[in-house]
Homo-oligomer: A and B are copies of this chain.
Amino acid sequence: MIGTTSSWDLYERGCPSRDLLDRIGDKWSILVLGELGEHGRSRFTELRNRLSGVSEKMLTQTLRALESDGLVLRTVHARVPVRVDYELTALGQTLRAPLRALTEWSLQHTDEVLAARAAYAARVEQGA
């Protein structure tokens, strides 16, 4: 594997890395990965309760996609009632640092962005 670099170009349409980026940059994916990263193995209901505002449909969809991408491991315990656990795979763990960098940035710069938006809106109001 030494010396191999991926030959993909994010700036080309149809690039699979571009699609992947889009999926992990997804609203709920970021939050689900973040939660599983912080809390470790969690159940469906736990996730639903922690991710304020998520619908069951979106949570299921997101979890399935992440599972399919090999980022999340889904384990079904055959009891009654059934118990399902979700946790990050090894691959999913490698995504924690980059994602945390982004979420940290977002938290730290929200003030500035809100101020910029207000200023922009005021400018538009005046200008046009």
Contacts and interface: CB of A to CB of B under 8 A. Distances in A.
A119 B67 CA distance: 11
A71 B110 CA distance: 12
A52 B91 contact: no
Contacts of A69: 113, 116-117
A89 to B, nearest CB: 8
A6 interface: yes
Interface string A85-128: 00000010011011101111111111111111101110000000
A3 B49 CA distance: 30
A22 interface: yes
28 contacts: A6-B107, A6-B108, A6-B110, A6-B111, A10-B31, A11-B31, A11-B35, A13-B52, A18-B31, A18-B106, A21-B27, A21-B102, A25-B25, A25-B26, A25-B27, A25-B30, A68-B117, A68-B121, A69-B117, A70-B115, A70-B116, A70-B119, A70-B120, A71-B116, A91-B109, A98-B98, A99-B102, A101-B102
